[in-house]
Amino acid sequence: MPRQPLTITGGQILSGDGPPAPGAIRCERDRIVAVGDLSAQDGDRTLDAKGKIVMPGIIDLGVFEIDKPAFHFGGITRAALMPDQPPPLDYPARVRFAASYGKPDFWVHPIAAATRGLKGEELPELALMQEAGARAVSSGRQWIADSGTMFRVLQYAAMLGLPFISHAEDAGLAGDAVATQGEIATRQGLPSAPSEAETLAIMRDLTLAEIAGAHLHIRQVTTKGGLDLVRKAKARGVNVTCGVTPAHFMLSDVATAGFLTFTRLSPPLRSEDDRKAVREALADGTIDVVASGHDPRGPEDKRLPFADAAPGMAGAETLLPLTLSLVRDGVIDMARMAQLLCVNPARILGVEAGRLVEGYEADIAVIDADRPWIVDSDRMAAQAGNTPFDKQPVQGRAIALFKGGMEIED
């Protein structure tokens, strides 16, 4: 039986092309057919948004686990899956399976492994993985230390028109560090590395990407030095984009005091000056994407000494409210929020989503930007509640979510 058309009325439409404006949106099958001053037609399913924000479904660029209840809670309708899976996404069949996982109410965009087994040596069949559904190429949690291998991967990705998603951390300098070099790490006796481990990696990768003519997306840039390099590269026309997670604009290394392993992240939390630099880069457009870095980890990975605990956080549920905190603090406006969470991730991945415009997929979130709630690691929808924001009050929640015009009810 054909699905009834859907019309959402009475909302503030945050289309991705400007600030919220009063209006309605109408969808037929899985596509948006009209946006603006319109009314429901006979036979339409209708939803009165009652003045709430109607925005594109969030596209989470670079997650490590497909965790649909957590994504749906967070207003996320698509996620780009990192290649660090058991086994890695380094064969077309694995990519094809990942691309089908989650449908019909959630779409996964696999990111192909840049090297076999993510070992930084042998190149896989990227073209076949692209045909199987890969939307990008990545070294995963690792940095490809061999510049010759990295250059060949970038050339291959450029030829295919695939962005390369890098982990900006010089492994030789970072070693086994779990913290950023500085007063906090010294006081706690934690193995640490200078923040220049990030800037050195960015400097090399930018140079190679510029020579190869590749699109380089640095998944997380967390230091002032790294952001300055990206800013200057953009100014001279290098095809580079970058992202960050809320942890690095909300927290500094002070949050690791007490050896709280929920704050054990990769890259590690930085200095307060770096945190402020991240917020400035969000305001001035240097940073293109805010992503959750969703990586749920159970007690077996987190109830360990800080240096032995696995890095990562469950971020899908807190992505929207923490990004909204930037709006409330006057760092960005709502239009910029839509760019960071929806428009830019869709553009990088090359998918017709992330904006509320005619012809695009009807991935829609209705959000109450002011709804208060408290983050509770024991009650999260995620597979594990390893959040550094445990017990923190936040504001903002998705109150209705549609994937391809179909309402998602968890």
Q: Indicate whether 228 pLDDT > 90.
A: yes
**DSSP β-ladder status, 45-48 and 21-28:** unpaired
> Does residue 289 sit within a domain?
yes
Backbone angles phi, psi at 348, to 5 degrees: -65, -40
pLDDT of 169 reads 96
pLDDT of 409 reads 83
Query: How buried is 74 (Cβ within 10 angstroms: 0-12 exposed, 13-18 middle, 19+ buried)?
Result: buried
pLDDT of 318 reads 98
pLDDT of 410 reads 66
Computed over every residue of the chain, the mean pLDDT equals: 96
Mean pLDDT of 39-61: 95
- Taking every pair of Cα atoms in the chain, the longest distance, rounded to a whole number of angstroms, is 68
> Does residue 120 sit within a domain?
no
Query: How buried is 267 (Cβ within 10 angstroms: 0-12 exposed, 13-18 middle, 19+ buried)?
Result: buried
Domain count, the chain: 1
> Does residue 242 sit within a domain?
yes
**Nearest alpha carbon to residue 316 among 48, 71, 41, 56:** 71
Record the pTM: 0.96
> Does residue 259 sit within a domain?
yes
Contact 200, 208 (CB under 8 A): no
Q: HSE-up of 201 (CA within 13 Å, CB side)?
A: 29
pLDDT of 259 reads 82
pLDDT per residue as tens digits for the range 70-128: 999 999 999 999 999 999 999 999 999 999 998 999 999 999 999 999 999 999 999 99
pLDDT of 257 reads 87
> Does residue 51 sit within a domain?
no
> Does residue 31 sit within a domain?
no
Contact 398, 74 (CB under 8 A): yes
* Cα–Cα distance measured from residue 91 to residue 342, given in angstroms and rounded to the nearest whole number: 28
Whichever domain contains 260, its CATH number is 3.20.20.140
> Does residue 215 sit within a domain?
yes
Where is 73: in which H helix or E strand?
A: helix 68-73
The confidence band for 3, taking pLDDT boundaries of 50, 70 and 90, is confident
Mean pLDDT of 274-283: 98
pLDDT per residue as tens digits for the range 323-332: 999 999 999 9
pLDDT per residue as tens digits for the range 296-339: 999 999 999 999 999 999 999 999 999 999 999 999 999 999 99
The confidence band for 2, taking pLDDT boundaries of 50, 70 and 90, is low
The confidence band for 260, taking pLDDT boundaries of 50, 70 and 90, is confident
Mean pLDDT of 194-210: 97
> Does residue 153 sit within a domain?
yes
Contact 331, 100 (CB under 8 A): no
- Strands of the sheet containing 136-138, edge to edge, are 58-63, 76-81, 107-113, 136-138, 164-166, 216-218, 240-244, 289-290
Contact 214, 239 (CB under 8 A): yes
Query: How buried is 305 (Cβ within 10 angstroms: 0-12 exposed, 13-18 middle, 19+ buried)?
Result: exposed
pLDDT per residue as tens digits for the range 391-407: 999 999 999 999 999 99
Tokens representing residue 356 in the block = 């509320």
Domain of 162, in residue numbers: 57-76+96-102+140-353+371-393
pLDDT per residue as tens digits for the range 133-167: 999 999 999 999 999 999 999 999 999 999 999 99
Q: Could you tell me the sign of the dihedral formed by the alpha carbons of 181, 183, 184, 185, in that order?
A: positive
